Amino acid sequence: MKLDVAKIRKVFVSTLLILSSVIFLYTGGFGAFSAMTQRALLMALLSPVAFLGLKKKNETKAESIFNFALALVILAINIYVIFVWKDRAFMAGETPKLDIILGSIMVFLVLEATRRTNGLFLTLTAAVFILYALFGPYLPTFIAHRGESWPRLVNFLFMTTEGFYGIPMDIAATYIIIFIIFGAFLQVFEGGQWFIDMAYAITGRFRGGPAKTAILGSALMGMISGSPAANVVTTGTFSIPLMKKVGYKPQEAGAIEAVASTGGMFTPPIMGAAAFIMAQYLEVPYLAVCVAAIVPALLYYFALMFVADARAVKNNISGLPKEELPSLVKVMKERGHLGIPLIFLIAAIVSGWSPTRSAFWATILTVAAAFLSKLTRPTRQKIIEALKAGSEQAVQIVITCAAAGIIVGTFLITGLGAKLSYTLIAFSQGNLYLAALCSAIIAILLGCAMPPTAVYIILVTILVPVLTKLGASPISAHMFIFMFSCLGAITPPVAIAAYCGAAIAKAEPNKTGWLAFRFGLPAYIIPFMFIGVPAIILQGTLPEILQAVATETIGVLCLVAAMEGFVFIKWNSVSRVLLGMASILLLVPETITDLIGSGLIVAAILVNIIFIKKIINWKAFKGAKT
């Protein structure tokens, strides 16, 4: 009988994915296993998929068997950890040779899985940190250390909760996995289509309606998907052609979608699962992180809406006729019930339920709510598809967390984090904003080549202590690092989200990338506002919060007017310069700068009125002369 490797592979992967979703749904609703078991179990079930999930078209049978062998080995090693970790925790003396052998194999398998799921950059970064741990004595003085032996390093990464199974994997195995499964159920039962249809029905009739639909829909989808590029591909397939159809240039359509999708990563309540990671590091309730993210996310999308509106004016784009738009009543009637799980999720968390328990019951409620319409009615096939999709979407994050565990573990075992922190403090000469600027550049550079979650997990160990020592509040520092970790997706020359948008729009990638950078410019400024003044992230007294939010909102509007030349009315060149100066002053939340900025806005309005009157008078003069 001929062995069908492809069929065995498909069944094996499907079994792992479904089993993973079922097990971690259960732990979300009824309680997790012990820390090490929970984390190693997640690795055991999902890391093999990294070797089997993406089959190359030209893969030979020998390569297929080899990949299958790698998958079985990494599965077996993680099962070994589940059975022996308790004994190792209480064992003193020399590390068993079997642990060193299996741990060494695990290191290389994690690096290879990282290469396959995340590309070379994160893989090489993790490998460099391993070399750093081994060859510490031979490095420059300011980063040198005593050097670690291979057995000690492997044992630290393999058999403690500081390496592969550290905090990143803990968050992945508790919070992230269950929220990704919830998002998958919502998408399979057409929750994503409901988001888009609802956004289209609400905004389609306005000037530049399709662009505003893309912004609203991408914000809703992005907070669940956890990947700017994936969100562009999901919502952009619908929104980008529609934007082009009504008159937006291809590069404008691609850029608007890329910026809108990137913002979903820091849009509450889910924030692409980052809210849970941040809450864990900060040791604060998840709700506190969501509250802190509200104003930055609103300012970001507020600015983008006005950018889309200004471009609609430039391109002479009007709203779509009523007959071309979906009826909001019909949309709510057909799929509005899919909003019930989201409302329940938010209400459950606000009322004090744990995020994991809330997500578990929201997932169950999604299935129950789907029965309310023939269009969304669950079938056995749909439920299996959702279970598979949930775990499949988590594979990259799990491998990313394992690779991040190597990096974070190296920081801990060598003391590198403290060294880099002191170096950055010395370089910035104790100035918070200079240190923040350096931190932003580092986060953007890493974010160009790595997923936002991985960048945040790596940098939180190095940069957050620096910012807090220089005066930033802990939650401000974490939000600052995370927002800049996301912005690599729209920062040239890589700008992966913008390039995905360009591909769908059939636009020139570099033009789209630079336009996305321009449209997203407020996002590069907003974090500097709250790093020094926490009132913008709703930390402070009510008068402080009201003043900060009001002035920053006006400042963002002035920035868009200066960039695009249109907000409510058309602004002439001199007025745009004045508004640009006003935006800079208003974005520095001090009373004196607010007053000067307000004065500049008044001046810009007067200049604009005088300019318009001159045009009217000149036209009247020419007409009279004629």
Confidence of residue 622 (pLDDT cuts 50, 70, 90): very low
Distance CA 501, CA 518 (A): 15
Show the domain range for 607: 552-626
Is residue 399 scored above 50 in pLDDT? yes
Does residue 559 lie in a domain region? Answer: yes
| pLDDT, position 341 | 87
- Rg of the Cα atoms in the chain: 26
Q: Which residue intervals of 90-171 are DSSP H helices?
A: 97-118, 120-134, 150-158, 167-171
Contacts of 303 (CB under 8 A, 6+ apart): 522, 556, 557, 559, 560
Task: Check if the beta carbon of residue 466 is closer than 8 Å to that of residue 438.
Answer: no
Pairwise pLDDT comparison (510 vs 58), residue with the higher score: 510
List Cα–Cα distances, 19 to 24, 225, 366, 372, 395, in angstroms: 9, 21, 20, 27, 14
Among 117-131, 292-306, 475-489, 609-623, the range scoring the smallest mean pLDDT is 609-623
| pLDDT, position 272 | 61
| pLDDT, position 2 | 54
Distance CA 180, CA 389 (A): 9
DSSP string covering 496-559, please?
A: HHHHHHHHHHT--HHHHHHHHHHHTHHHHHHHHHHHH-GGGGT-S-HHHHHHHHHHHHHHHHHH
Confidence of residue 426 (pLDDT cuts 50, 70, 90): confident
Rounded to an integer, the average pLDDT of 273-284 is: 78
DSSP run (H or E) holding 343: helix 339-350
Does residue 583 lie in a domain region? Answer: yes
Is residue 316 scored above 60 in pLDDT? yes
Distance CA 160, CA 153 (A): 11
Does residue 217 lie in a domain region? Answer: no
Confidence of residue 618 (pLDDT cuts 50, 70, 90): very low
Rounded to an integer, the average pLDDT of 2-24 is: 85
| Backbone φ, ψ for residue 430 (5° rounding) | 80, 10
| pLDDT, position 326 | 73
Hey, what amino acid is at 458? I
Is residue 111 scored above 90 in pLDDT? yes
Is residue 306 scored above 70 in pLDDT? yes
Distance CA 155, CA 275 (A): 31
Confidence of residue 423 (pLDDT cuts 50, 70, 90): confident
Is residue 624 scored above 60 in pLDDT? no
pLDDT digits (tens, 9 = 90+) for 134-170: 998 888 877 888 889 999 999 999 998 888 998 888 8
| pLDDT, position 625 | 47
Pairwise pLDDT comparison (65 vs 54), residue with the higher score: 65
| pLDDT, position 23 | 95
Does residue 524 lie in a domain region? Answer: no
| Backbone φ, ψ for residue 379 (5° rounding) | -125, 165
pLDDT digits (tens, 9 = 90+) for 563-607: 988 888 888 888 899 999 998 888 776 778 888 988 999 999 888
Is residue 345 scored above 90 in pLDDT? no
Number of CB atoms found within 10 A of residue 444's CB: 20
Does residue 562 lie in a domain region? Answer: yes
Mean pLDDT (the chain) is: 84
Hey, what amino acid is at 41? L
Does residue 309 lie in a domain region? Answer: no
Distance CA 85, CA 47 (A): 19
Number of CB atoms found within 10 A of residue 378's CB: 17
515: phi > 0 → left, psi -120 to 50 → alpha, else beta; which? alpha
Is residue 318 scored above 70 in pLDDT? yes
| β-pair partners for 570 | 566
Contacts of 411 (CB under 8 A, 6+ apart): 129, 417, 461, 462
Distance CA 41, CA 598 (A): 58
Pairwise pLDDT comparison (467 vs 319), residue with the higher score: 467
Rounded to an integer, the average pLDDT of 437-458 is: 82
Helix 97-118 vs helix 150-158: crossing angle, to nearest 10:
70
What percent of the chain lies above the pLDDT cut of 90? 25
Does residue 136 lie in a domain region? Answer: no
| pLDDT, position 588 | 72
Task: Check if the beta carbon of residue 16 is closer than 8 Å to that of residue 48.
Answer: yes
Does residue 611 lie in a domain region? Answer: yes
- Residue 525's closest CA among 481, 584, 576, 452? 584
Is residue 616 scored above 60 in pLDDT? no
pLDDT digits (tens, 9 = 90+) for 96-110: 899 999 999 999 999
Model-wide pTM > 0.85: no
Confidence of residue 383 (pLDDT cuts 50, 70, 90): very high
| Backbone φ, ψ for residue 227 (5° rounding) | -145, 115
| pLDDT, position 251 | 92
Number of domains in the chain: 1
